[in-house]
Amino acid sequence: MRDGDERPGGRPSRFDVTGRRGAHPSAERLNPANPLWGSNGIAFGPEGRLYVAEFLGGRISAVDLDGGDLDVVVPAGGPVRSPDDLAFGADGSMYIADLVPGRVWRRSPQGAYTLVSDAVKNPNGITCVGDRLFVNEMKPDGRLLELFPDGGRPTVLTAGLAMGNAMQRGPDGFLYYPHMISEQIWRIPPDGGAPELVADQVDRPVAVRFDRGGVLHVLSLGPEGRVTRIDLHGTGSRTLVTSGLAGLDNAAFDAENRMFVSSYASGGITEMHPDGRTRAIVPRGFDGPYGVTVDLGGTVYAADHYRVASPPASPGGDGGTGADEGEPISRVLAPFVHGIVADGVFLHLTSQFGDVRTYDPRQGSMRTRLGGLNRPMGIAVDPAGSLVVAETGGGRIVAVDESDRVTVLAEGLGHPVDVAFDAAGRCYVSDERAGAVLRLEEDATTTVVADGLGAPQGVTVVGDALYVVETAHRSLRAVSLVTGASWTEAEDLPVGPSPEAVRLPPDAEPALFAHGLPGLAGRFAGIASAPDGSLVLSADGEGTLLRLTPSGPR
């Protein structure tokens, strides 16, 4: 089936089957809806179609390379939860590395699913050599194993991988694979033996792929979109190509030796020419977006799980990222970033790794201000310049001053998600579990400003009105801070988990990814006010940013 209907902007939306932007006369999308929720492993199937594993979307789609249309082959909500890589066996079976639950699946040509193994931790790189199946683990001291779809016991070929990832059999018959941490490429015979170092000091290798001529291509996961070509037949010389595609993940070559690449950071499928020029096949988009902020110059920034990005209409140009028209602009890679606030020239970020960081775009530098938090989400700046953070998993609100000293402003809250300040410097907190917005008082108590809300998340204040996103009701609720009057500012918003989203229980998360996956407490429909009085809202259900002009207190 086709992946949804066409929406305004010419892109499909997986969330809002009506195509509405929200019941508000001024609502407009700042970018088209996202077709692919992350694009990770890619491989050509036996019939010549390109298949894409959408780790964040929990599904696998096939791409029409001529028009960019998508067919969902492995839908979300089935046995496969978080496909990160895939490969095809000689009989046409699809093998899937299901990273988060730690499973490897076989999907038969008829569409039947069989569990091959649940004994692999963080399975990622996967490849087939004829009827044989190999997979490696994306973890420190990972293993490379041969698995047996008929139920045989896995064979460990080697251990000690420093974060394995996409691998492939080379022309010499060896299995080639990256060590992501140590920036090396290794190889090993499929029947086992001593691993051999192939290349050292390779820029942040995330995938190894051979073209039709046997040239080794190593993709970098960095912001520059680099590919290192290594001639293994002769001198071992290297050629470095820079594409500008941030966060490369995988590549596949078709019968004509054309190279197609994916991006964990922004999704999409792109043809990459030998000189680094690119052509979008499936456009890139937002993986979230989650927290959102607008600086004094009107530039919009979104915390987008793997990066900070701006919509294409935002001022400031593409920053040399090579973004195609209509695609979000990558500003900086920032793993698991979910909260963001602009503060003069700085951007302050929260990460699902548990830290608070400050990014200086002028220097391109990132400074950690605080670590060890339990799922920090929304962040704001108080009148004194301190950073105020909603520690969602810890039920606290904490402040970090300019000297990085930490003060607990409130604790014992249910599930605080976002924070905001009014003109008088009073702090407001959305508590998703309590269904309320609270005001923090000077004596460390809280006052209920609004209750009976449906999973409130993003919150902001404009003048005398407070606005909060109710993800359970898919609406924007407004409250007058003067009269207490409340009204629905917008409804039918594409926020919160989409109808096909699958939530994973906390005990299903590998330790490597603890506190790092959306679909748990990490989802965040943010909202921010702009200098012109408009509101910008994260429509994380479809991967867009919405701008609307509020009606003001009623």
Q: Do 217 and 325 fall within a single domain? A: no
CATH number at residue 400: 2.120.10.30
The neighbour count for residue 39, using CB atoms within 10 Å, is 31
- How many Å from the N-terminal Cα to the C-terminal Cα in the chain? 45
Position 11 scores a pLDDT of 54
Q: What is the dihedral of CA 493, 499, 501, 505, to 10 degrees?
A: 100
| Integer angstrom CA distances of residue 470 from 72, 94, 290, 482, 514 | 30, 40, 14, 21, 26
Q: Which of 376, 393, 365, 317 is CA-nearest to residue 341?
A: 376
Any idea how long the chain is?
554
pLDDT at 357 over 80: yes
Residues 324 and 184 placed together within one structural domain of the fold: no
Q: For residue 287, tell me if it sits in a domain.
A: no
Q: Is 28 within a domain?
A: no
- In the prediction, which pLDDT does 314 show? 64
pLDDT score at 509: 39
Of the pLDDT bands very low, low, confident and very high (cuts 50, 70, 90), residue 315 is low
Whether residue 272 is predicted with pLDDT greater than 90 in this model: the reply is: yes
Asked if pLDDT for residue 50 goes beyond 80, the answer is yes
Tell me the pLDDT of the chain averaged across its residues. 89
What one-character DSSP code corresponds to residue 182? T
pLDDT value of residue 152? 87
228 within some domain: yes
Across the range 125-151, mean pLDDT stands at 95
Question: What is the DSSP code string of 295-325?
Answer: -TT--EEEE-EEEEEE-TTSSS--TTS-PPT
Q: Which of 122-126, 319-323, 508-512 has the lowest mean pLDDT?
A: 508-512
pLDDT score of 235: 77
Asked whether the predicted pLDDT for residue 169 surpasses 50, the reply is yes
List, for residues 274-291, the tens digit of each pLDDT value. 999 999 999 999 999 999
Q: Quick check: 6 pLDDT over 50?
A: no
Q: What is the CATH number of the domain that holds 117?
A: 2.130.10.10
**pLDDT for position 233:** 82
What's the whole-number mean pLDDT along residues 475-489?
Answer: 95
pLDDT digits (tens, 9 = 90+) for 204-248: 999 999 999 999 999 999 999 999 999 898 777 899 999 999 999
Residue 58 · residue 80 · CB < 8 Å: yes
pLDDT at 5 over 50: no
Which pLDDT score is estimated for 23? 56
Domain-located, residue 12: no
User: Is residue 205 one of the residues assigned to a domain?
Assistant: yes
The two tokens of residue 147 are 């698995």
pLDDT value, residue 1: 28
* Residue among 132, 201, 127, 189 nearest 164 (CA): 127
Same-domain pairing of 403 and 477: yes
Angle, CA of 344, 348 and 350, to the nearest 5°: 165
Lowest-confidence region among 93-97, 198-202, 230-234: 230-234
Sign, CA dihedral 303-305-310-311, equals negative
**DSSP labels, 436-476:** EEEEE-TTS-EEEEE-S-SSEEEEEEETTEEEEEETTTTEE
Cβ neighbour number for residue 265 with a 10 Å cutoff: 28
Which of 61-65, 298-302, 442-446 bottoms out in mean pLDDT, i.e. has the lowest?
442-446
Same-domain status, 234 and 344: no
| The token pair that represents 21 in the structure block | 């932007």
For residue 287, give the nearest of 469, 22, 1, 31 by alpha carbon.
Answer: 31
Distances (CA, A) of 325 to 233, 268, 302, 314, 322: 40, 14, 18, 12, 9
Same structural domain, 376 and 228? no
Structure token pair of residue 61:
């789609």
Asked if residue 140 and residue 255 are part of one domain, the reply reads yes
Confirm whether 101 is domain-assigned. yes
Q: Averaged over 291-312, what is the pLDDT?
A: 96
pTM for the full predicted model: 0.91
Q: Are residues 303 and 229 in the same domain?
A: no
pLDDT at 508 over 90: no
Q: Domain total for the chain?
A: 2
Percentage of residues in the chain with pLDDT exceeding 90? 79
Percentage of the residues of the chain whose pLDDT score is greater than 70:
88
Q: 215-230 burial string, b = 16+ CB within 10 Å, else e? A: bbbbbbbebbbbbbeb
Considering the domain boundaries, does residue 21 fall inside one?
no
Considering 230, 262, 282, which residue would you say is the last residue of a domain? 282
| 8 A C-beta contact, residue 485 and residue 498 | no
| Domain contains 32 | no
Cα–Cα distance, 183 to 201 (Å, whole number): 5
Domain C-terminal end among 282, 313, 337: 282
Query: Domain check: are 255 and 299 in the same one?
Result: no
CA 319, CA 415: separation in Å to the nearest integer? 36
Residue where one domain finishes, among candidates 282, 304, 337: 282
- Domain of residue 364 covers 292-548
pLDDT of residue 518: 37
Is residue 215 domain-shared with residue 322, that is, in the same domain? no
Read off the amino acid at residue 239: T
DSSP string spanning 408-446? Answer: EEE-S-S-EEEEEE-TT--EEEEETTTTEEEEE-TTS-E
CA distance 366 to 426: 29
